[in-house]
């Protein structure tokens, strides 16, 4: 058709034009595939973690029929604390009762296939529902790690027939395990939970926020509103920008050399972890804060000055409230980064095995990303699922924080 | 928790001071003939509160460092401490156990000799806690009282308060300098100690890396501290493999999103890409070790490469490259968007296709920004730790085969400092020397990137 429309075009020109249009199409396709590839990798990552992790919220449990009327256990209603109730049941012989009925309902060696802490689990079920003690009940108790692996498809060959047999009788199945969110680290994947790590993370984040937010905001205010233009201000600015570029592990080295030097007894305490992460988060808050403060129009400052406010009043009564949503957005993003940070915390010793949730800022603790790292080193198949489940929890937290930041940005975004 | 108790005491005092001074100022105001004061009552309150809070905070800060040492000294002065072993792990364990029981953190002691120390510990802790509370109260009351006496109608409380606030602002901005200085000094200090044991030349130019934390610390073998394989591993994984992934993908994504994509799609795709940078690195590391590395090994086996390792530089580099994509793409995005529309329109008006415009006009004009973005991405990649710790391996190999295990500077820092080694051992100190090199290189890249942008950015209009 082209020879009619544009008779001046030679065939060589036509060929070149076709080639150029083809190149255009290829280029566009290349760009699209780059985007699609990146999104696809993200999807693969999320899908792999979700598929692996769903199993982590379950555990393999055995049905044990216990006739508590025969066992003659009692629960003193005067005892208030949970651990003491468990101890009371233990002294009355609950472990032996579970062993007896375990063997009866699961076969001669059945009890051996229960988790060694199964009786604790039975005890907490009794505490939750004391009326169990007056009847015959079917308790679902965690299976041993080996049996769980055999049921899950790998592990000991000699346990597989037993696992299949029990599963066929309906006595062995994977059941939802919400206790995963409430327990702490353990050596057995059937008994682990993330509450200890989560609580450590929360305590660490509180310290980080309490230190990084005020210092970050005040320093942003100073630099943006009051700092004279001189060499000192330049040095401060350069060092803040450089700190934002320093690898996180270097902050870990600082924490190790300085904070642990000052407080040698506080290895792996949330206080030291929070201090270290605060130094890392502060530059992020300063940079976000300065941008938010810069966005407040000068007319507002001039207006306030004109009716007699002092420079400090201008900033704290007018500029800061208007800049706060932007500062908060930056703070949440910085905190999200600190929440996912692992390397600096490894440096200051937060990689210890901590089986009890921390009670304060100076107790030994671990945090969620470090817990993930520690579990990822375990060889046991059961830990793979648990690790992925912990990752899901961590990603959910990050999603919520980032969602909040986006919401704040959209909700309070102002155009002057 | 004694620090927290002291803080609460201090804050309570400050609040009381605030209320008292404000009430006093109100009464002065109503008592004065014209009802006029030089400052609002709440400024008088703030004046007193700050005069209580600041000295108290300083005291608590110093006290929380000093008190544990004082407790330890008084315990060691106790006769029961005479039987303690002279030094070493044993002594530390016994003391830690006794302290644990005394503070209620643990129930019983295991080591012989610890039980005798529980009582002295408990006494000393109680004594110094009392002194701490008394000190806090005394300082708070003293400074609060002095400040309170100045509450008068003609006292310009506001200017004083504002001066204190300005001082606090200045101090806050100095934290950044202090942190930088702290990083620099702690790295330099330990590095100098390390170079006292192993010569810098052996460290920077040696080709064999294999520190032995169990070897005699006094007489290290310098030939085991050659860091070249680590530098090579870091560059190979972070600056070569990761960038082969991240630069084309990041750049093409940015071009597609700014030049071709429908705005509605763009508003969705850009945040989704940014999620890639927000995923914690430990998750990437786990993904690399669990999914990517076995897949690469199987693929290598399938095409007939024997001895493919399940920990490979390739797996770590690929995953790290994916993580870096948003860095490259957002910097490229910004600098392409900064090229004036007129240049794009001009090129299109001359009959160039969109991709010719992009390749011949937009990308060259945006090049300084893109280069700076790539440099920042590299500095981020070589400082990245968790991915290489989980996926790259521990063996220091000086090879170009991406399927072999390779180790990096960050991996070795983690490995050297999370072992059982003491702080006087060259193997442990080498981690600080490695950290120092990493610090200098990332700062250099960052500095250079900023210079490139400043120097070569075209000023349009």
What's the whole-number mean pLDDT along residues B123-134? 88
pLDDT tens-digit series, residues B29-76: 888 777 777 888 888 999 999 999 999 999 998 888 888 888 888 888
pLDDT at B116: 77
Closest CB to B180 among A45, A215, A243: A243
Could you tell me the pLDDT band of residue A8, with boundaries at 50, 70 and 90? low
pLDDT tens-digit series, residues A285-330: 999 999 999 999 999 999 999 999 999 999 999 999 999 988 999 9
pLDDT at A212: 95
Q: What is the DSSP string of B43-90?
A: HHHHHHHHHHHHHHHHHHHHHHHHHHHHHHHHHHHSGGGGGS-SSSHH
Q: Is B426 within 8 Å of B225 (Cβ atoms)? A: yes
B62 CB burial (10 A radius; 0-12, 13-18, 19+)? exposed
Residue B15 in this model has a pLDDT that exceeds 70: yes
β-bridge partners, A66 = A137
Q: Could you give phi then psi for residue B111, rounded to 5 degrees?
A: -80, 140
pLDDT at A109: 65
Closest CB to A242 among B250, B271, B446: B446
Most confident stretch, A374-378, B6-10, B373-377, B398-402: B373-377
Q: Are B438 and A247 an interchain contact pair (Cβ–Cβ within 8 Å)?
A: yes
Angle subtended by helix axes B313-337 and B363-383, to nearest 10: 140
| Shortest CA gap B253–chain A (Å) | 5
Rounded to whole angstroms, the Cα distance separating A350 from A207 reads 15
Q: Which of B50, B72, B169, B331 should one mutate to test binding to chain A, selecting the residue with the greatest count of A CBs within 10 A?
A: B169
Chain A stretch 269-308, residues whose beta carbon is closer than 8 A to a beta carbon of chain B: 279, 282-283, 286
pTM, entire model: 0.87
Structure tokens at B138: 């005394």
Q: Are A372 and B1 an interchain contact pair (Cβ–Cβ within 8 Å)?
A: no
Q: Is B43 within 8 Å of B147 (Cβ atoms)? A: no
Q: What is the DSSP string of A178-206?
A: GGGGT----SSTTT--SHHHHHHHHHHHH
**Chain A contacts of B285, Cβ < 8 Å?**
373, 376
Rounded to whole angstroms, the Cα distance separating B453 from B442 reads 17
Beta-carbon contacts of residue A5 (< 8 Å; ≥ 6 apart): none
Chain A stretch 183-242, residues whose beta carbon is closer than 8 A to a beta carbon of chain B: 214-216, 218-219, 221-223, 226-227, 235-236, 239-242
Please give the residue that has the higher pLDDT: either B107 or B365: B365
Which pairing describes strands A172-176 and A136-142: parallel, antiparallel, or unpaired? Answer: unpaired
- For A210-224, A251-265, B241-255, B416-430, which range has the lowest pLDDT when averaged over its residues? B416-430
Chain B stretch 269-298, residues whose beta carbon is closer than 8 A to a beta carbon of chain A: 269, 271-273, 275-276, 278-287, 289-291
Q: Which of A37, A249, A287, A368 should one mutate to test binding to chain B, selecting the residue with the greatest count of B CBs within 10 A?
A: A249
Residue A99 in this model has a pLDDT that exceeds 60: yes
**Chain B contacts of A23, Cβ < 8 Å?**
353, 355
Residue B4: closest C-alpha in chain A: A361
pLDDT at A32: 94
pLDDT at A209: 95
**Chain B contacts of A357, Cβ < 8 Å?**
none
Buried b (16+ CB within 10 A) or exposed e, A43-73: eebbebbeebbebbbebbbbbbebebeebeb
Residue B282 in this model has a pLDDT that exceeds 70: yes
pLDDT tens-digit series, residues B137-182: 999 999 999 988 888 888 888 889 999 999 999 999 999 999 999 9
| Shortest CA gap B62–chain A (Å) | 11
Most confident stretch, A142-146, A393-397, B220-224: A393-397
Q: Are A384 and B290 an interchain contact pair (Cβ–Cβ within 8 Å)?
A: yes
Contacts 24+ apart (CB under 8 A), B37-40: B37/B153, B38/B153, B38/B154, B38/B155, B38/B156, B38/B157, B38/B158, B39/B155, B39/B156, B39/B157, B39/B158, B39/B159, B40/B158
Beta-carbon contacts of residue B329 (< 8 Å; ≥ 6 apart): B249, B250, B251, B253, B254, B257, B273
* Total residue count of chain B as it appears in this document: 461
Q: Are B176 and A239 an interchain contact pair (Cβ–Cβ within 8 Å)?
A: yes
Residue A219: closest C-alpha in chain B: B173
pLDDT at A416: 66
Give B145's DSSP letter: H
Chain B stretch 79-118, residues whose beta carbon is closer than 8 A to a beta carbon of chain A: 96, 99, 105
Cα angle for residues A161, A167, A170 (degrees, 5° grid):
150
**A374: three-class secondary structure by DSSP:** helix
pLDDT at A7: 59
Chain A stretch 237-266, residues whose beta carbon is closer than 8 A to a beta carbon of chain B: 239-243, 245-251, 253-254, 256-258, 262-263, 265
pLDDT tens-digit series, residues B182-204: 999 999 999 999 998 888 998 99
- For A50-64, A248-262, B259-273, B281-295, which range has the lowest pLDDT when averaged over its residues? A50-64
**Chain A contacts of B382, Cβ < 8 Å?**
247
pLDDT at B1: 46
Q: Are B179 and A239 an interchain contact pair (Cβ–Cβ within 8 Å)?
A: yes
- The percentage of chain A sitting over the pLDDT mark of 90, rounded to a whole number, equals 39
Most confident stretch, B82-96, B298-312, B336-350: B336-350
pLDDT at B460: 65
Chain A with chain B: Cβ pairs closer than 8 A: 257
Q: Are A222 and B379 an interchain contact pair (Cβ–Cβ within 8 Å)?
A: no
**Averaged confidence pLDDT in chain B:** 87
Residue A2 in this model has a pLDDT that exceeds 60: no
**Chain A contacts of B105, Cβ < 8 Å?**
363
CB atoms within 10 A of CB A85: 19
Could you tell me the pLDDT band of residue B2, with boundaries at 50, 70 and 90? low
- The percentage of chain A sitting over the pLDDT mark of 70, rounded to a whole number, equals 92
pLDDT at B222: 80
Give A144's DSSP letter: P
**B107: three-class secondary structure by DSSP:** coil
Whether A309 has its CB under 8 Å from any CB of chain B: the answer is no
| Shortest CA gap B410–chain A (Å) | 8
Residue B103 in this model has a pLDDT that exceeds 80: no
Please give the residue that has the higher pLDDT: either B242 or A125: B242
Rounded to whole angstroms, the Cα distance separating A183 from A291 reads 42
**Chain B contacts of A49, Cβ < 8 Å?**
283, 287
Structure tokens at B397: 């190999």
Residue B93: closest C-alpha in chain A: A265
- For A203-207, A323-327, B11-15, B217-221, which range has the lowest pLDDT when averaged over its residues? B217-221
pLDDT tens-digit series, residues A61-98: 888 777 777 777 777 777 666 667 777 777 777 777 77
Residue A370: closest C-alpha in chain B: B282
């Amino acid at each position: 058709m082209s020879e009619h429309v544009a008779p001046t075009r030679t065939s060589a020109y036509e060929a070149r034009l076709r080639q150029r249009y083809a190149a255009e199409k290829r280029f566009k396709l290349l760009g699209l595939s780059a985007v699609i590839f990146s999104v696809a990798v993200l999807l693969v990552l999320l899908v792999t973690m979700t598929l692996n992790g769903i199993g982590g919220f379950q555990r393999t449990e055995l049905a044990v029929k216990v006739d508590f009327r025969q066992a003659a256990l009692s629960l003193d209603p005067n005892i208030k604390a949970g651990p003491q109730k468990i101890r009371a049941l233990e002294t009355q012989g609950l472990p032996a009762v579970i062993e007896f009925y375990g063997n009866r309902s699961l076969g001669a060696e059945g009890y051996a296939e229960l988790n060694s802490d199964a009786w604790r689990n039975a005890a907490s079920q009794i505490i939750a529902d004391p009326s169990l003690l007056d009847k015959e009940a079917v308790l679902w108790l965690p299976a041993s790690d080996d049996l769980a692996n055999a049921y899950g498809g790998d592990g000991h060959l000699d346990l597989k027939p037993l696992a299949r047999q029990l599963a066929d009788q309906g006595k062995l199945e994977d059941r939802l395990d919400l206790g995963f969110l409430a327990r702490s680290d353990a050596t057995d994947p059937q008994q682990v939970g993330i509450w200890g790590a989560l609580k450590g993370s929360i305590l660490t984040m509180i310290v980080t926020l309490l230190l990084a937010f005020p210092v970050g905001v005040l320093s942003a205010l100073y630099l943006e509103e009051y700092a004279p233009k001189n060499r000192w201000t330049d040095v401060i600015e350069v060092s803040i920008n450089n700190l934002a570029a320093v690898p996180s592990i270097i902050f870990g080295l600082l924490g190790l050399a300085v904070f642990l030097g000052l407080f040698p007894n506080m290895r792996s305490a949330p206080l030291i972890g929070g201090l270290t992460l605060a130094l890392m988060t502060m530059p992020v808050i300063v940079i976000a804060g300065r941008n938010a403060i810069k966005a407040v129009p000068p007319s507002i400052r001039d207006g306030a000055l004109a009716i007699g406010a002092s420079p400090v009043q201008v900033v704290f009564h007018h500029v800061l409230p208007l800049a706060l949503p932007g500062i908060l957005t930056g703070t949440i993003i910085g905190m999200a980064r600190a929440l996912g940070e692992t390397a600096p915390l490894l440096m200051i010793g937060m990689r210890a095995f901590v089986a009890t949730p921390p009670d304060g800022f100076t107790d030994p603790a671990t945090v969620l990303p470090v817990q993930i790292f520690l579990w990822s080193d375990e060889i046991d198949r059961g830990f793979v699922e648990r690790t992925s489940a912990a990752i899901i929890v961590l990603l959910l937290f990050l999603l919520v924080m980032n969602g909040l930041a986006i919401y704040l940005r959209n909700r309070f975004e102002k155009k002057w | 928790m004694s620090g927290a108790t002291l803080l609460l005491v201090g804050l309570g005092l400050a609040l009381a001071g605030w209320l008292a001074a404000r009430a006093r100022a109100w009464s002065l105001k109503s008592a004065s003939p014209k009802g006029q004061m030089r400052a609002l009552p709440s400024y008088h309150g703030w004046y007193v509160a700050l005069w209580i809070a600041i000295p108290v905070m300083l005291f608590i800060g110093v006290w929380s460092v000093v008190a544990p040492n004082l407790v330890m000294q008084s315990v060691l002065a106790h006769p029961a401490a005479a039987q303690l072993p002279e030094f070493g792990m044993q002594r530390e364990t016994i003391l830690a156990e006794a302290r644990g029981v005394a503070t209620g953190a643990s129930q019983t002691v295991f080591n012989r000799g610890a039980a005798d120390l529980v009582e002295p510990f408990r006494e000393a802790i109680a004594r110094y806690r009392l002194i701490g509370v008394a000190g806090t109260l005394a300082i708070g009351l003293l400074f609060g009282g002095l400040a309170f006496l100045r509450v008068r109608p003609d006292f310009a409380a506001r200017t004083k308060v504002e001066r204190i606030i300005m001082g606090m602002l200045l101090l806050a901005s100095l934290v950044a300098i202090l942190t930088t200085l702290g990083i620099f000094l702690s790295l330099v200090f330990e590095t100098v100690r390390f170079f006292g044991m192993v010569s810098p030349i052996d460290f920077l130019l040696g080709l064999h890396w294999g520190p032995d934390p169990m070897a005699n610390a006094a007489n290290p073998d310098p030939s085991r501290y050659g860091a070249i394989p680590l530098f090579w591993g870091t560059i190979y994984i972070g600056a070569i493999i990761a960038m082969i992934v991240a630069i084309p993908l990041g750049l093409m994504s940015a071009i597609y999103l700014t030049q071709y994509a429908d705005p509605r799609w763009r508003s969705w795709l850009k945040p989704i890409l940014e999620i890639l940078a927000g995923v914690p690195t430990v998750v990437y590391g786990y993904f690399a070790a669990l999914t990517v590395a076995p897949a690469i090994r199987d693929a290598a086996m399938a095409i007939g490469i024997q001895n493919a390792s399940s920990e490979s530089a390739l797996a770590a580099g690929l995953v790290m490259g994916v993580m870096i994509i948003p860095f490259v793409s957002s910097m490229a995005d910004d600098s392409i968007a900064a090229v004036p529309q007129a240049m794009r329109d001009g090129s299109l008006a001359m009959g160039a296709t969109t991709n010719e415009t992009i390749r011949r006009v937009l990308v060259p004009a945006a090049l300084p920004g893109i280069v700076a973005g790539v440099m920042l991405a590299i500095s981020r990649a070589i400082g990245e730790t968790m991915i290489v710790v989980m996926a790259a391996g521990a063996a220091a190999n000086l090879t170009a085969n991406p399927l072999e295990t390779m180790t990096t500077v960050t991996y070795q820092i983690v490995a050297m400092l999370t072992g059982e080694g003491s702080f006087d051992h060259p193997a442990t100190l080498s981690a600080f020397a490695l950290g120092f090199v990493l610090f200098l290189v990332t700062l250099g890249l960052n500095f250079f990137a900023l210079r490139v942008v400043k120097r070569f950015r075209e000023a349009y209009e």
